[in-house]
A and B are shown apart, each in its own frame.
Chain A
Amino acid sequence: MIEVIVNGKRTEIPAGLNVKEAISALEYRQEGFALALNGTFVALSTYESTKIHDNDSLEILAPVQGG
């Protein structure tokens, strides 16, 4: 297992996962959001080729009301 920070909260996921697999492991739905890894946007098309490492920080954002 490795430790990652997801939306500000520290949690554990299995080692060696890519972004798509990590999203499943974290029990997020598979659509309707965008993701940043360590402050950098990760495009949906690159989820499977982007690996998650120990102490990585993920921001998973979805639409909300805004002004």
Chain B
Amino acid sequence: MTKQMEIHNNTWEIGGKTLSSRLLIGSALYPSPANMEDAIKISGSQIVTVALRRQAAGNTESKGGNDFWNIIKSLGIEVLPNTAGCHSAKEAITTARMAREVFGTNWIKLEVIGDQYNLQPDPFETVKAAEVLIKEGFEVFPYTTDDLVVAKRLADVGCKILMPWGSMIGSGKGLMNPDNLMAIRKQFPNLQLVVDAGIGKPSHATQAMELGYDGVLLNSAIALAQDPVKMADAFRVAVEAGRLGYEAGVMQKREFASPSTPTVGTPFWHQFKD
């Protein structure tokens, strides 16, 4: 195996699975199911988020849902059901239990929304739901803010994974508080940390990975791009670049200029002046 192959063969563990891709991808908002399928494939992602919604009777209106689910199953990658739309721990717990039965996984992306304007997670209800679900054997992927104390509470109830937001869901604004994200990283070196929400462009994902985050979860940035498939490829590269950059160790910033070309042997060194 060449050195280059070794570098690109890094794996990581999350939720009891060993994976190679650190990009977690959403399945919503794509122009078509075929486009979604192509984007997921080219992204290299091994985790795709899914949801539950009311099913229509008579198996007519729900046909689209069936087609969607068949595509996802055919991809052979891990599914991460979410509790999107829940506003209380009780709703989220019920949705998680339903998701476990339908999707056949104990993974749950725990989302409990506290404010409809900015879709900010409700920290109190999220912690409450996480505690119950972990006791029931769920692997909880909690969507949270970049608040260090909330992160501590989630870790206290047994979360091994934390998913602080970069910025508001669907905003594409990137990492609003990188210092807060870094504080969480430093406080929890042994937890799996994934930046979830707010990523708008590949450089945002790279920045998150350079902070030492273990992964990035995004949906809108790919699905709402003019060319979602090409953007999925861009994010694949961006996440990989950020991770490699983090592992390589970024140079220290300096407050002064320093030439990179050697000064010894410089021709015409101060010999000619006007």
What A residues does B95 contact at CB under 8 A?
A: 61
Are A59 and B54 interface neighbours, CB within 8 A?
A: yes
Contact of A41 among B50, B66, B84, B97 (CB under 8 A): B97
Contact of A61 among B30, B66, B90, B98 (CB under 8 A): B98
What B residues does A59 contact at CB under 8 A?
A: 54
CA of A62 to CA of B61, assembled, Å: 11
Tell me the smallest distance from the CB of A66 to a CB of chain B, in Å.
3
Q: Look across to chain A and name the residue whose beta carbon is closest to the beta carbon of B59.
A: A29
Q: Look across to chain B and name the residue whose beta carbon is closest to the beta carbon of A61.
A: B52
CA of A66 to CA of B196, assembled, Å: 13
Are B57 and A32 interface neighbours, CB within 8 A?
A: no
| Residue A2 at the chain B interface, CB threshold 8 Å | no
CA of A23 to CA of B94, assembled, Å: 19
What B residues does A39 contact at CB under 8 A?
A: 90-91, 94
Are A67 and B101 interface neighbours, CB within 8 A?
A: no
Q: Look across to chain B and name the residue whose beta carbon is closest to the beta carbon of A39.
A: B94
CA of A33 to CA of B65, assembled, Å: 11
Are B169 and A67 interface neighbours, CB within 8 A?
A: yes
Contact mask B92-110 → A, CB, 8 Å, 1/0? 0011011101110000000
Within B44-96, the residues touching A (CB, 8 Å) are 49-59, 62, 65-66, 68-69, 72, 81-82, 84, 90-91, 94-95
Contact of A34 among B28, B51, B52 (CB under 8 A): B52
Are B68 and A63 interface neighbours, CB within 8 A?
A: yes
Within B95-142, the residues touching A (CB, 8 Å) are 95, 97-99, 101-103
Contact mask A1-42 → B, CB, 8 Å, 1/0? 000001110000000000000000011110011111001110
CA of A33 to CA of B52, assembled, Å: 9
CA of A64 to CA of B102, assembled, Å: 11
Contact of A32 among B49, B91, B98, B102 (CB under 8 A): B102
Are A61 and B53 interface neighbours, CB within 8 A?
A: yes
| Residue B26 at the chain A interface, CB threshold 8 Å | yes
Q: Look across to chain B and name the residue whose beta carbon is closest to the beta carbon of A7.
A: B54
Tell me the smallest distance from the CB of A10 to a CB of chain B, in Å.
14
CA of A8 to CA of B66, assembled, Å: 21
CB within 8 Å for A43 and B101 given contacts A64-B51, A65-B36, A66-B81: yes
Are A28 and B54 interface neighbours, CB within 8 A?
A: no
Determine which residue in A29, A43, A64 has the highest number of CB atoms from chain B within 10 A of its CB, and name it: A64
CA of A29 to CA of B59, assembled, Å: 6
Q: Look across to chain B and name the residue whose beta carbon is closest to the beta carbon of A8.
A: B54
Are A65 and B51 interface neighbours, CB within 8 A?
A: yes
- Please provide the 3 A-B residue pairs with the shortest distance between their CB atoms, ordered closest to farther: A66-B51, A34-B98, A67-B219
A28-B59, A64-B68 given; name 11 further pairs at CB < 8 Å.
A34-B101, A41-B98, A61-B52, A62-B62, A63-B69, A65-B36, A66-B28, A66-B49, A67-B49, A67-B82, A67-B169
Pull 5 A–B residue pairs with CB atoms less than 8 Å apart, ordered by A.
Answer: A7-B54, A35-B98, A43-B101, A64-B65, A67-B27
